[in-house]
Amino acid sequence: MIQRRMTRQIRVGGVPIGGGAPIPVQSMTNTPTQDVSATVAQIRRLEEAGCDIVRVAVPDAAAAQAIGAIKARIRIPVIADVHFDHRLAIAAARSGADGLRINPGNIGGSKKVKEVVECARNYGIPIRIGVNSGSLEKDLLNKYNGATPEGMVASALRHVELLRALDFHDIKVSLKASDVRRTVAAYRQLSAVTDLPLHLGVTEAGTLFSGLIKSALGIGTLLAEGIGDTLRVSLTRDPVEEVRAGYEILAALDIRRRGPEIIACPTCGRTRIDLFGIVEQVEKALTASRAPIKIAVMGCVVNGPGEAREADIGIAGGDGIGALFRKGKVIRTFPEEQLVEVLLKEVAKLEKRRRPKADGLKSGASAAGRRSTLTERTFKNNG
Q: How far apart are CA 348 and CA 324, in angstroms?
A: 14
Residue of 71, 70, 25, 89 whose CA lies nearest to 239:
25
How far apart CA 301 and CA 95 sit, in angstroms, is 59
Contact 67, 96 (CB under 8 A): yes
- Smallest separation (angstroms) from ligand SF4 to the CB of 78: 45
321 lines the binding site for ligand SF4 (CB under 6 A) = no
Of the two residues 268 and 288, which places its CB atom closer to ligand SF4 in the complex? 268
Q: Among residue numbers 246 through 265, which ones bind ligand SF4 (CB under 6 A)?
A: 265
Shortest Å distance, C-beta 295 to ligand SF4: 14
Report the interhelical angle of 180-193 vs 149-165 (nearest 10°): 40
Tell the smallest beta-carbon distance from residue 301 to ligand SF4 (Å).
8
Query: Restricting to residues 262-301, which ones interact with ligand SF4 according to CB under 6 A?
Result: 265-268, 270-271, 298-300
Between residues 83 and 326, which has the closer beta carbon with respect to ligand SF4? 326
**Shortest approach of ligand SF4 to residue 267 CB, angstroms?**
6
Strands 294-298 and 230-232, sheet pairing: unpaired
- Give me the 175-214 binding string for ligand SF4, x by CB under 6 A, dash otherwise: ----------------------------------------
Using the minimum distance from each CB to ligand SF4, give the nearer residue, 88 or 340.
340
With 0-12 / 13-18 / 19 or more C-beta atoms within 10 angstroms meaning exposed / middle / buried, residue 319 is exposed
Separation between Cα atoms, residue 348 and residue 289, nearest integer Å? 9
Using the minimum distance from each CB to ligand SF4, give the nearer residue, 136 or 265. Answer: 265
304 forms part of the interface with ligand SF4 (CB under 6 A)? yes
Is the CB of 306 or the CB of 335 nearer to ligand SF4?
306
Q: How many CB atoms lie within 10 A of CB 35?
A: 16
Cβ(91)–Cβ(64) under 8 Å?
Answer: yes
The reply on whether position 170 binds ligand SF4 by CB under 6 A is: no
Residue nearest to ligand SF4 (CB): 299
Beta-carbon contacts of 118 under 8 Å, excluding residues fewer than 6 positions away, are 166
Q: How many residues bind ligand SF4 (CB under 6 A)?
A: 12
**Residues found near ligand SF4 in the complex (CB under 6 A):** 265-268, 270-271, 298-300, 303-304, 307
